Chains A and B, each alone.
Chain A
Amino acid sequence: MLWLALLVPNLPLQVFTRGLAHADTPFAVVDRVGTARILCANTAALALGVQPGQPLSTAQAVAPALQLRPRQPERETALLTEIACWAGRFTPRISLAPPDTVLLEIQASLRLFGGQARIEHELGKGLVQLGVSARLACAPTPLAARWLAACGQGLPASEDWQRGLDALPLAVLGSEGDCSTATLELLHGLGARTLGDVRALPAAGLARRQAQSVSLLLARARGEQPDPRLWFAPPERFHHELALPAPTHNSEALLFAARRLFASLASWLQARHAAIDHCRLRLIHERQPATTLDIILGQAANDEAHLALIARERLDSLPLPAEVCALGLDADHLLAHAPRAEDLFGAPGQARDQAMRLVDRLRARLGEDAIRQLAPVADHRPEAAWQSQAQAQPGRRRATTPGAASNPDAALPDRQRPFWLLPQATAISPQHYTLLGDAERIESGWWDDGDVRRDYYLAQRSDNTLCWIYHELAPPGGWYLQGYFG
């Protein structure tokens, strides 16, 4: 077994700052339990002299521009869950270790990803996209991995990793809450400074002084005692929120934060070998119902860049009733997704994917009705012999891809038809036209009150343009231009 601990330092702070593009605003999280104190602060605030543990009034005195948010423990748990969901693309064996750590068992994934260093590299890259900074450490037991991560150390050489553990400071024992402050003080009083010192103490003596839990913890960390962990089961629906550090109207800032959620969604989908064809972005306001933004794709996808592109087009044109203080992303209807096999001679389905993406992008910006497709209809009247249909929605599947079969039943006229049709036939004076060929009478439409009786002619206008004109036989008669042959 090889455990990788992913420890999120300053989790209460990172819940808010991950949606922030620029880290130069001083920002701090306040603990409301008892007297209000600063819990953690970002680097800009620390530089101004704000310190964790400071009373609120002191912090505001040293940094008047400090932005403050109360701690939100439920968002911290949610972020940890989100990271666990996201990490599902690296290994299915994940365990949560509150308050701030996710443990991944990566032994079985080593070969797939090409070694521990590669996994750590990929994790690091992905965490940047999520907007989370974390410390990673590997060890054969979960507890050791976590302690190493807490101390910011890498894995000691594989043979004597237990000796490396001995060098860790005493304080790591308290990180998971297994060891009470009183016990830690006792050990400190006994002169122990590192875990090695604690291990050297006689076990019977520790047990007599109510410090038996320490020996147990050490035995677990060293792999001498079993340390069973509860596996994390990823939820069936994707439902995550992201709090913004300050309410905003700015679509760029919103998009930046939304990208974090899309990255997380993409990984969640990858872990489940699934794709989505629609998801819903919720823009949560302080005092008003949330504005929802439905993102609909023409084709199932699990690619964050594509989702972000469509969200950008929609966000740019979306009127916001109030400032947005948090974002939420929901996706539930999962579709099976088979990853496409890499092909030596170019990807076979790539052209179709690209074609659908173009339609998605155009539709997101221009609206549903701006993108149409044409089809002939079996009708004798020229103005009724065609129809335009909106590109199919993902909900009702129709011929959505270029190359899908068209309607072959529609009867095509045996006479030549013009390429351009005027939206409305216009009255003309016949002197400017020379008729070519004989007439074609079109007389039909009694069934839907669109009755026509016309004689159609090919005609050449005085400027040599080939036109399609007709003579109205029904009173009051007259000559009309209906199309150009182009």
Chain B
Amino acid sequence: MGLVLERLPAGLVWQGTRLADAQGATLHTGFAELDAELPGGGWPAGALIELLAEHPGVGEISLLLPLMQRTPPERWIAWIAPPLLPYAPALAAAGVPLERLLLIQPATADEVLWATRQASAGGSCALVLAWPARLDTAALRRLQLAAEESATPLFLFRTPSAARHASPAALRLQLSPSVDGLRIDILKRRGPPAAHPIHLTLRSGTRQEPPQEPSATPGQTPPPRLTLVG
């Protein structure tokens, strides 16, 4: 039986043990470990992707950095209702084209959803990142359709408690910080459930040496190196 299935042309019958072939184009994440675990070998280009994290700053920007560096010209990178301030010098130093970054701060939750839908539809954004305050299934479905139609990847940042509810998202990843990077649990993907979490090393360069003593309190630090005097 298995042999018969193997001989069939690719894409005709999907087997549960394999990752689904991506329906549309995919975008490389920039991390080989993550690409290997995603259907089609990257972020789905026209789909809703949920990233669940406890609070901002777990490493989500570093995760999307390769994607932001590679945006095609004349398309926006839309950040809708970010919880904190995206820091321009750091983004510029990391190679994010700031002139293409559009920061949208709607006043109400309804307007956040509206703006997200506008940005994902129409294909004028290369990438949409949104931090919606509240979402229901109907709103999620609408966002999924908008992203699908325009082939714009839409990343929604939500809290881990959202994992309890069903979602039409094509991909749901739970992000949590680890000692040297980011731990990613794949909660949902088109394919078999992920067996183990993925660890991405994001900051090998920043850590010069492991802390000498685990309880190195900030009070006993070496004298500061003076880098500049105003």
Identify the A interface with B (CB < 8 A): 351-352, 354-355, 357-359, 361-362, 365-367, 370-377, 380, 382, 385-388, 391, 399, 401-406, 410, 412-413, 415-423, 430-431, 433-446, 455, 457-460, 463-467, 469, 471, 479, 483-486
Whether the pair B179, A419 counts as a contact (CB closer than 8 A) is no
Instruction: Determine the chain A residues whose CB is within 8 A of the CB of B226 once the complex forms.
Output: 441
Chain B positions 196-225 with a Cβ under 8 Å from a chain A Cβ: 203, 206-208, 211, 214, 216-219, 221-222, 224-225
Whether the pair A440, B88 counts as a contact (CB closer than 8 A) is no
Whether the pair A386, B230 counts as a contact (CB closer than 8 A) is no
With the chains together, A384 CA to B230 CA distance in Å? 13
Instruction: Determine the chain A residues whose CB is within 8 A of the CB of B207 once the complex forms.
Output: 436-437
- What's the nearest-Cβ distance from chain A to residue B172, in Å? 20
Whether the pair B58, A465 counts as a contact (CB closer than 8 A) is yes
- What's the nearest-Cβ distance from chain A to residue B146, in Å? 12
Whether the pair A421, B84 counts as a contact (CB closer than 8 A) is yes
With the chains together, A39 CA to B227 CA distance in Å? 88
Whether the pair B93, A446 counts as a contact (CB closer than 8 A) is no
Whether the pair A370, B104 counts as a contact (CB closer than 8 A) is yes
Whether the pair A464, B93 counts as a contact (CB closer than 8 A) is no
Whether the pair A421, B85 counts as a contact (CB closer than 8 A) is yes
- What's the nearest-Cβ distance from chain B to residue A402, in Å? 4
Query: What 6 A-B pairs come out closest when comparing CB atoms?
Result: A444-B230, A484-B57, A439-B224, A417-B90, A486-B61, A386-B88
**Which residue from chain B places its CB closest to the CB of A484 in the assembled complex?**
B57
- Say whether, besides A372-B103, A440-B227, A486 and B92 are in contact (CB < 8 Å): no
Whether the pair B105, A370 counts as a contact (CB closer than 8 A) is yes
B59 within 8 A of A: yes
With the chains together, A328 CA to B119 CA distance in Å? 31
Q: Which of B19-27, B28-36, B121-129 contacts its partner?
A: B121-129
- What's the nearest-Cβ distance from chain A to residue B145, in Å? 18
- Say whether, besides A370-B104, A420-B84, A483-B87, A358 and B118 are in contact (CB < 8 Å): yes
B11 within 8 A of A: no
Instruction: Determine the chain A residues whose CB is within 8 A of the CB of B54 once the complex forms.
Output: 463
The count of chain B contact residues (Cβ–Cβ below 8 Å) is 68
From the candidates A351, A399, A455, name the one contacting B224 in the complex (CB within 8 A): A455
Identify the B interface with A (CB < 8 A): 54-62, 72-76, 84-94, 97-107, 111, 114-115, 118-119, 122-125, 176-179, 203, 206-208, 211, 214, 216-219, 221-222, 224-230
- Say whether, besides A386-B87, A386-B89, A373 and B99 are in contact (CB < 8 Å): yes
Interchain pairs with CB closer than 8 A, number? 229
Whether the pair A375, B74 counts as a contact (CB closer than 8 A) is no
**Which residue from chain B places its CB closest to the CB of A463 in the assembled complex?**
B177
Whether the pair B62, A370 counts as a contact (CB closer than 8 A) is no
From the candidates A374, A479, A485, name the one contacting B62 in the complex (CB within 8 A): A485
Instruction: Determine the chain A residues whose CB is within 8 A of the CB of B211 once the complex forms.
Output: 434-436
- What's the nearest-Cβ distance from chain B to residue A410, in Å? 8
- What's the nearest-Cβ distance from chain A to residue B199, in Å? 12
Whether the pair B93, A373 counts as a contact (CB closer than 8 A) is no
From the candidates B73, B86, B111, B225, name the one contacting A366 in the complex (CB within 8 A): B111
**Which residue from chain A places its CB closest to the CB of B85 in the assembled complex?**
A421
Whether the pair A465, B103 counts as a contact (CB closer than 8 A) is no
**Which residue from chain A places its CB closest to the CB of B176 in the assembled complex?**
A464
Instruction: Determine the chain B residues whose CB is within 8 A of the CB of A460 once the complex forms.
Output: 179
- What's the nearest-Cβ distance from chain B to residue A360, in Å? 11
Whether the pair B87, A402 counts as a contact (CB closer than 8 A) is no
Whether the pair B218, A358 counts as a contact (CB closer than 8 A) is no
Whether the pair B218, A402 counts as a contact (CB closer than 8 A) is no
Instruction: Determine the chain B residues whose CB is within 8 A of the CB of A437 once the complex forms.
Output: 206-208
With the chains together, A422 CA to B85 CA distance in Å? 6
Instruction: Determine the chain A residues whose CB is within 8 A of the CB of B86 once the complex forms.
Output: 374, 419-421
Instruction: Determine the chain A residues whose CB is within 8 A of the CB of B94 once the complex forms.
Output: 419
Whether the pair B179, A464 counts as a contact (CB closer than 8 A) is yes
- Say whether, besides A354-B124, A366-B107, A375 and B98 are in contact (CB < 8 Å): yes
- What's the nearest-Cβ distance from chain B to residue A467, in Å? 7
- What's the nearest-Cβ distance from chain B to residue A479, in Å? 6
